[in-house]
Structure 1
Amino acid sequence: MEKKRLYRTEGNCKMICGVCGGLAEYFDIDPTLVRVAWVIAAFLGSVGFWAYLICAIIMPKKSDVYPGC
């Protein structure tokens, strides 16, 4: 069994940087729920904004984690 890896989604699945889509695939949940939670967190003291920005910078793209996909 292959180990799950955290990555940013690419293509049609991403909205801004693909962070929420990647998190949703990792935890096997609907990406809309992750996006709504992140927006709520962004309005609560801007922690969500900074967390998203950091994740967008440090998380690799899906093509970097799984070449050929």
Structure 2
Amino acid sequence: MATQRGLYRSRRHRIIAGVAGGLAERFGVPVWLVRFIWILLFIPGGLPGVVPYVILWIIIPLEPEE
């Protein structure tokens, strides 16, 4: 039985805090796709993208060092 990986902010795929990279790694989607969605959320004034990003930055732990 495979162990399911938890949600962590990525150390490898990080530009600001690793939130998009961590979500991409967790759900098995390309990092560029998650970043593109964040950019779309930032376009209408920033608020729909900034608030969730900061909340996730605070609550998702950083990926443990290997």
> What TM-score, normalized to structure 2?
0.86
The structure where helix makes up a greater share of residues is 1
- How many residue pairs align between the two structures? 64
State the superposition RMSD in angstroms.
1.3
Identity %: 36
For residue 13 of structure 1, give the secondary structure of its aligned residue in structure 2: coil
Deviations 1:9-53 (A, max 9, x none): 11x421100000000001111101100100111223521111001
| Residue in structure 1 matched with residue 63 of structure 2 by the alignment | 62
Q: Which runs of 5+ in 2 are unaligned?
A: none
Match of 1:25 in 2: 25
Q: Give the equivalent residue in structure 2 for 1:47.
A: 48
